[in-house]
Amino acid sequence: MTDGSPLAEAMEVEESPSTSITPRDPPKIQRLEESVVNRIAAGEVIQRPVSAVKELVENSLDADSTSINVTVKDGGLKLIQVSDDGHGIRREDLPILCERHTTSKLSKYEDLFSLSSMGFRGEALASMTYVAHVTVTTITKGQIHGHRVSYRDGVMEHEPKACAAVKGTQIMVENLFYNMIARRKTLQNSADDYGKIVDLLSRMAIHHNNVSFSCRKHGAVKADVHSVVSSSRLDSIRSVYGVSVAKNLIKVEVSSAESSGCAFDMEGFISNSNYLAKKTILVLFINDRLVECSALKRAIEIVYAATLPKASKPFVYMSINLPREHVDINIHPTKKEVSLLNQEIMIEMIQSEVELKLRNTNDTRTFQEQKVDYIQSTLTSSKSDTPISPLPSGQKTPKVPVHKMVRTDSSDPAGRLHAFLQPKPNNLPDNVSSLSAVRSSIRQRRNPKETADLSSVQELLSGVDSCCHPGLLETIRNCTYVGMADDVFALVQYQTHLYLANVVNLSKELMYQQTLRRFAHFNAIQLSDPAPLSELILLALKEEDLDPENDEKDHLKERIAEMNTELLKEKAEMLEEYFSVFIDSDGNLSRLPVILDQYTPDMDRVPEFLLCLGNDVEWEDEKACFQGVSAAIGNFYAMHPPLLPNPSGEGVRFYTKTSEKSSQEKPALGGNVEMESVLDQDLLSDAENAWAQREWSIQHVLFPSMRLFLKPPAAMASNGTFVKVASLEKLYKIFERC
């Protein structure tokens, strides 16, 4: 019957009788009755009970209240009552109080930019009277009695009646959406409206800590939100969200001057790595308005995913203050979202601060979590103040033989070769490199696909499980990354053994397994420019060819590229739905899946990937097809050495170009031209960046993710992927003799 839109809902009680118009006649345009127009507008401002509560509470705050109490019956549909101790409403204003566009907060448009009140549109109370029964009781300072009056459709139902009243205003909203049947029904079925109201008041309470709030169900003795006026933000968070949240918070602050491109002050609290939750809570106030900002939320979530070992979602409270003229508060009827000048710069600065704070505390945390089920570290824990987690009760600290005293903490950065040997590339400081990875993933778009529970994927995954090598699994879970031994092998330590681990093979397998696990659930990486398939495949074919000068083959290659493009276009729907590989109807690749958060593959390998999809996948059999595509993605996302040769050591030769030396003073004798080697600085710095970025990813993305997700196949124990090179006890003995 109704599509649930405000228009359809508003029209449904006054059904139009003219249903017999023949299809050929254009329908007659008529002016809507004002009551209908108002009800449509009201449906937009008051979308659910919680929107009414928000408006009422904001009005109370605007009225300088210090105490605001909310009572709710039937999720707000039967009754919402908000009482405050604010300045009240004058008797003479009551007749127009609930008319549309009547406000005491704004008189000319320009006031919008200097406004400090929450409200300004003069629409909230009016809207409520169009979709509910509203009764106002109020008293102003110096009066001996108050007034009570009820409203419907913007007007008073009777003259205000004198009544006894306590300081402030009490507004009752009854039978919300009584005249919008469809909306009432949908809301009646959803039980979570009271929860939303509690959530709203909790958020309000921690920001406005100079006001006491309470929220309870009608008739309940105990309030579900109860805050008292407090001078400390942390105290108010503790009283509203509980000790378990408050004890795990870190203070954050950013202050940025106009010169940085975005002037703002931010202060807040973020959860540390001990805090565990499944859902992010971001309580965000911008210029004291409770707003939502999905870009900031996502940006913070990414930093958490990138920085903390445990997959916990954060609790974040932030209050941001910007010059008023930089915020457009008038883009949303309920003022839920705001538009900010230079939002991106601001988000990046906040991200860096959050990342910095998390890294600092994360170091302490991993230290405390140091494994004690095998050898105690002496190299790292020789300081007496180093916290070491206690052994499970009843166990004694095993006495460690001196020759076994070696570094074994898998998360202690001091133990990494990296820290000693590798000077940080100066154009890539630690936090910048991590941020660029983080930034690249901000451009991700969510892909809201439902679970595809295809049995062939389940079979492939159980295949992964059954091939898993338990010993190797144990080693990978607990190993320490020491450093890169060469372009492909990393040196890792597990207990007292050193291993060489082939990062290309390992990452390929990890990406393959993650592709299967995230099947049909990928976030997407949006390519800034869609890439034409046929050209890329042609490029890959030419690269494969050992004799690229041979023109005859060119035609053939073009044909192959075309055929592959057509094939992939045909499979585009499936590739998009299950793998988030998006190919448009013109044959351009524009989206790729996120396989590991904070990691984007080397885009130089896109041509090879597309060729591999076209050539190597068995499209006819479902299981083989999913396996083939996942393997192609695995290979593409694997951490191969960058295509530019490693500029350290011998590789630097690749970046020298020779040029004739201009030597006018010494004219060349006997036709001997002097040559000079110069470094191609641009290419060199590209290469340095690519290699540094890869090493960063290996250490900070690959190894942590492998510890969490990789099920190493048995073959890796014997095919050279994981090779034991030394046992430290034996080395120790050798050194002892020296």
Shortest distance (Å) from residue 54 CB to ligand ADP: 10
Residue 141 or 383 with smaller CB distance to ligand ADP: 141
Shortest distance (Å) from residue 71 CB to ligand ADP: 15
122 binds, among Mg ion, ligand ADP, none (CB under 5 to 8 A by kind): ligand ADP
Using CA atoms, how far apart are residues 98 and 124, in angstroms rounded to an integer? Answer: 8
- Which among 113, 114, 107, 156 has a CA at the least distance from the CA of 134? 156
Shortest distance (Å) from residue 284 CB to Mg ion: 20
Shortest distance (Å) from residue 86 CB to ligand ADP: 5
Residue 119 or 593 with smaller CB distance to ligand ADP: 119
Shortest distance (Å) from residue 385 CB to ligand ADP: 55
127 interacts with Mg ion by CB under 5 A: no
Shortest distance (Å) from residue 64 CB to ligand ADP: 9
Residue 63 or 596 with smaller CB distance to ligand ADP: 63
Residue 117 CB-density burial (10 A; 0-12 exposed, 13-18 middle, 19+ buried): middle
84 binds, among ligand ADP, Mg ion, none (CB under 5 to 8 A by kind): ligand ADP
CB-based contacts of 711, cutoff 8 Å, min separation 6: 464, 465, 467, 468, 473, 513
Residue 636: CA count within 13 A, CB half-sphere: 26
Residue 124 or 290 with smaller CB distance to Mg ion: 124
695 binds, among ligand ADP, Mg ion, none (CB under 5 to 8 A by kind): none
Residue 111 or 680 with smaller CB distance to ligand ADP: 111
Using CA atoms, how far apart are residues 606 and 616, in angstroms rounded to an integer? Answer: 15
Residue 96 or 405 with smaller CB distance to ligand ADP: 96
CB-based contacts of 295, cutoff 8 Å, min separation 6: 343, 344, 347, 442
Residue 124 or 200 with smaller CB distance to Mg ion: 124
- The contact mask relative to Mg ion for 65-104 (x = CB under 5 A, - = no) is ----------------------------------------
635 binds, among Mg ion, ligand ADP, none (CB under 5 to 8 A by kind): none
Q: Quick one: CA dihedral 44, 49, 50, 55, positive or negative? A: positive
Strands 264-271 and 249-256: antiparallel
Shortest distance (Å) from residue 313 CB to ligand ADP: 34
120 binds, among ligand ADP, Mg ion, none (CB under 5 to 8 A by kind): ligand ADP
Strands (E), 479-631: 480-484, 489-494, 497-502, 524-532, 582-583, 588-593
Single residue of 119, 154, 601, 614 touching Mg ion by CB under 5 A: 119
Shortest distance (Å) from residue 171 CB to Mg ion: 11
**Residues 240 and 223: beta-carbon distance below 8 Å:** no
Residue 66 or 104 with smaller CB distance to ligand ADP: 104
Which amino acid, one-letter code, is at 199? Answer: D
Using CA atoms, how far apart are residues 718 and 488, in angstroms rounded to an integer? Answer: 17
Q: Which residues pair with 276 in a beta bridge?
A: none
Distance, CA of 302 to chain centre? 5
How far is residue 314 from each of residues 59, 193, 500, measured CA to CA in Å? 31, 23, 36
Using CA atoms, how far apart are residues 607 and 532, in angstroms rounded to an integer? Answer: 10
Shortest distance (Å) from residue 236 CB to Mg ion: 24
104 binds, among ligand ADP, Mg ion, none (CB under 5 to 8 A by kind): ligand ADP
Strands (E), 202-314: 212-217, 225-226, 249-256, 264-271, 281-286, 289-291
SS3 302: helix
Closest residue to ligand ADP, based on beta-carbon distance? 119
Shortest distance (Å) from residue 119 CB to Mg ion: 3
Using CA atoms, how far apart are residues 207 and 320, in angstroms rounded to an integer? Answer: 11
Binding site for ligand ADP (CB under 6 A): 55, 59-60, 63, 84, 86-89, 97, 103-105, 119-126, 169
Query: Which DSSP helix (H) or strand (E) runs through 139?
Result: strand 133-139
Selected range binding Mg ion among 29-37, 91-99, 119-127, 338-346, rule: CB under 5 A: 119-127
86 binds, among Mg ion, ligand ADP, none (CB under 5 to 8 A by kind): ligand ADP
Burial 438-454 (b: 16+ CB within 10 A, else e): bbebeebeebeeeeeee
59 interacts with Mg ion by CB under 5 A: yes
Shortest distance (Å) from residue 123 CB to ligand ADP: 6
Using CA atoms, how far apart are residues 60 and 119, in angstroms rounded to an integer? Answer: 10
Q: Which residue has the tokens 């609790």?
A: 315
Residue 329 or 491 with smaller CB distance to ligand ADP: 329
Shortest distance (Å) from residue 169 CB to Mg ion: 12
Residue 98 or 282 with smaller CB distance to ligand ADP: 98
89 binds, among Mg ion, ligand ADP, none (CB under 5 to 8 A by kind): ligand ADP
293 interacts with Mg ion by CB under 5 A: no
Shortest distance (Å) from residue 46 CB to Mg ion: 12
Shortest distance (Å) from residue 266 CB to ligand ADP: 27
**Residues 85 and 168: beta-carbon distance below 8 Å:** yes
175 binds, among ligand ADP, Mg ion, none (CB under 5 to 8 A by kind): none
**Residues 271 and 318: beta-carbon distance below 8 Å:** no
169 binds, among ligand ADP, Mg ion, none (CB under 5 to 8 A by kind): ligand ADP
400 C-beta neighbours (distance < 10 Å), count: 14
Site for Mg ion in 321-340 (CB under 5 A): none
Using CA atoms, how far apart are residues 308 and 245, in angstroms rounded to an integer? Answer: 17
DSSP for 28-45, written as a single string = PP-PPPHHHHHHHHHHHH
Residue 59 or 377 with smaller CB distance to ligand ADP: 59
Which amino acid, one-letter code, is at 197? Answer: I
Residue 60 or 202 with smaller CB distance to ligand ADP: 60
Residue 45 or 511 with smaller CB distance to ligand ADP: 45
237 binds, among ligand ADP, Mg ion, none (CB under 5 to 8 A by kind): none
Closest residue to Mg ion, based on beta-carbon distance? 119
* Contacting residues toward Mg ion, per CB under 5 A: 59, 119, 124
